[in-house]
Amino acid sequence: MLVQELSHSLVAIYRSLKVSGITLFFLGGVSEIEEEAAEAGKEYWIAVVGPLASLVLAAILGLLMLEALGNTSPIGALVKYLALINLILGLFNLIPAFPLDGGRVLKSLVWKANRSQDKAIAIASFTGSILGFMFIGAGILIASSTGNFIWGMWLMFIG
């Protein structure tokens, strides 16, 4: 998470936006960028770099894991775990559901295409709401049809 938020912050600084800090939470984090990007391109790069950083880190850790394949040491297990977590984090954050990074990427692309930030926010927010309801529905379906209440509750929580 730190690498992802640090990536957002560094690109924001590079794009002349002021960053006052990074706050990490149990299930995520936020780069405290003091102003909104004034251009779709800035928004795009600030948003997309976070998941890309997680995916690159997952690839690097995956390569390290290949070197330790068959290694049952705690270090090998830790590298495998960190690679998997970064892969999941990077892919999850690319889901086009605002306010996830993927939703911000969607917002920037719509903003660039129709030149209206307000329409882009509305479309990205609507898409995020639909995907949120889909996660909730999938959680209810999984919990009720398979009896896997923990997985179902987790999906509902994400939604």
Residues with catalytic function: 5
The C-alpha atoms of residue 26 and residue 29 are separated, in whole angstroms, by: 8
DSSP symbol at 96: S
Give me the long-range contacts of 30-37 (CB less than 8 A, separation at least 24): 30/5, 31/5, 31/6, 33/8, 33/9, 37/12, 37/108
Classify 8 in phi/psi space as left (phi over 0), alpha (psi -120 to 50) or beta: alpha
Buried b (16+ CB within 10 A) or exposed e, 5-24: bbbbbebbeebebebeebee
